[in-house]
Amino acid sequence: MRLWIAFWNILLKDMRTYYLKPPNISWGLLFPVAWTAMFFIKSGKGLDSILALLPGVVALSILFGTTSMLAVTVTFEKKNRSFERLLLAPIPLELLMLAKTGGAVVFGVANAFVPVLMALFLADLSQVNWIVFVPAVFMIAVASTFLGLFIAVAVSEVFEAQTFSNFFRFPMIFLCGLFFPIEKLPVFLKPLSYILPLTYGADMLHGAVHGRQSMPFPLDTALLGGFCVGLFAVSLWNIKRKWIL
Amino acid sequence: MNEVIAVEGLSKRFGQVQAVSGLSFTVHRGELFGFLGPNGAGKTTTINMLTGLARPDMGTIRIGGIDCTQRPRAAQHLIGVVPDESNLYPELTGFENLCFCAALYGLGKAERQERARRLLDQFGLAQAANRKFGGYSKGMKRKLTIAAGIIHQPEILFLDEPTTGIDVAGARHIRQLIADLHKAGTTIFLTTHYIEEAERLCGRIAFIVSGRIVRTDTVERLIQSVRDKHVVQITCSKMPDDMGTRLSQFFPGLELTSQGRESIRVEAGEPIRVGPLVRFLEDQGAEVAEARRMRPSLEDVFVQITGIEAHAMGQEQEKEKAGAG
Given pLDDT bands bounded at 50, 70 and 90, which one contains residue B1?
low
Which distant-in-sequence residues (6+ apart) come within 8 Å of A164 by Cβ? A71, A151, A154, A155
Contacts of B73 in chain A (CB under 8 A): 90, 92-93
CATH 3.30.70.1560 maps onto chain B at 230-295
How many contacts, defined by CB atoms under 8 Å, are there between A and B?
69
Order of strands across the sheet with B3-14? B17-28, B3-14, B58-63, B66-67
| Residue contact A81–B92, C-beta within 8 A | no
How far apart CA B200 and CA B208 sit, in angstroms, is: 19
DSSP state of B132: B
Q: Which of B209, B233, B165, A40 is nearest to B145 (CA)?
A: B165
Beta bridge partners of B256: B266
* B325: pLDDT strictly greater than 70: no
Domain ranges for chain A, please list them. Answer: 2-244
Instruction: Work out the average pLDDT over B209-222.
Output: 89
Contacts of B134 in chain A (CB under 8 A): none
Mean pLDDT over the full length of chain A: 86
* Three-state secondary structure string covering A47-110: HHHHHHHHHHHHHHHHHHHHHHHHHHHHHHHHHCCHHHHHHCCCCCHHHHHHHHHHHHHHHHHH
How distant is the Cα of B186 from the closest Cα of chain A, in angstroms?
18
pLDDT given for residue B302 in this prediction? 81
How far apart CA B153 and CA B147 sit, in angstroms, is: 10
Residue of A11, A13, A81, A236 to mutate, interface with B, max B Cβ within 10 Å:
A13
pLDDT given for residue B324 in this prediction? 36
Task: Tally the C-alpha atoms within 13 A of residue B314's C-alpha that lie toward its C-beta.
Answer: 16
How far apart CA B59 and CA B182 sit, in angstroms, is: 28
Burial of B278 (0-12, 13-18, 19+ CB in 10 A): middle
> What is the 3-state composition of chain A as percent helix, strand, coil, each rounded to the nearest 5?
80, 0, 20
Order of strands across the sheet with B212-218? B79-82, B156-160, B187-192, B32-36, B204-209, B212-218
- Asked if B227 is an interface residue toward chain A (Cβ–Cβ < 8 A), one would say no
- Asked if B111 is an interface residue toward chain A (Cβ–Cβ < 8 A), one would say no
- Asked if B71 is an interface residue toward chain A (Cβ–Cβ < 8 A), one would say no
* B319: pLDDT strictly greater than 80: no
pLDDT given for residue B323 in this prediction? 40
How far apart CA B113 and CA B131 sit, in angstroms, is: 16
Which sign does the torsion angle of CA B118, B119, B121, B122 carry?
Answer: positive
C-beta atoms surrounding A150 within 10 Å = 20
- Note the helical H segments in chain B: 43-51, 94-104, 109-122, 138-150, 168-183, 195-201, 219-224, 243-250, 274-283, 298-306, 310-324
Percent of chain B with pLDDT over 90: 45
Instruction: Work out the average pLDDT over B301-324.
Output: 58
User: Which is it for strands B156-160 and B187-192: parallel, antiparallel or unpaired?
Assistant: parallel
Burial of B233 (0-12, 13-18, 19+ CB in 10 A): middle
Query: Higher pLDDT residue, B322 or B32?
Result: B32
Please state the φ and ψ torsions of residue B191, each to the nearest 5 degrees. -110, 140
CATH 3.40.50.300 maps onto chain B at 3-224
Tell me the residues of chain B between 4 and 23 that have a Cβ less than 8 Å away from chain A.
Answer: 14
| Residue contact A85–B88, C-beta within 8 A | yes
How distant is the Cα of A103 from the closest Cα of chain B, in angstroms?
16
- H or E element, residue B156: strand B156-160
Q: The domain B3-224 is classified under which CATH number: 3.40.50.920, 3.40.47.10, 2.170.190.11, 3.40.50.300?
A: 3.40.50.300
Burial of A48 (0-12, 13-18, 19+ CB in 10 A): exposed
Coil, strand, or helix at residue B65?
coil
pLDDT digits (tens, 9 = 90+) for A217-242: 999 999 999 999 999 999 999 888 88
Which of A17, A80, A89 lies nearest to residue B76, judging by beta carbons? A89
How distant is the Cα of B238 from the closest Cα of chain A, in angstroms?
47
How far apart CA B179 and CA B170 sit, in angstroms, is: 14
How distant is the Cα of B78 from the closest Cα of chain A, in angstroms?
9
Contacts of B66 in chain A (CB under 8 A): none
How far apart CA A190 and CA B232 sit, in angstroms, is: 83
C-beta atoms surrounding B294 within 10 Å = 15
Which of B54, B91, B104 lies nearest to residue A89, judging by beta carbons? B104
pLDDT given for residue B32 in this prediction? 95
Given pLDDT bands bounded at 50, 70 and 90, which one contains residue A74?
confident
pLDDT digits (tens, 9 = 90+) for B143-155: 999 999 999 999 9
* B163: pLDDT strictly greater than 70: yes
Question: Does 3.40.50.300 match the CATH number of domain B230-295?
Answer: no
Beta bridge partners of B36: B192, B207
Which distant-in-sequence residues (6+ apart) come within 8 Å of B319 by Cβ? none
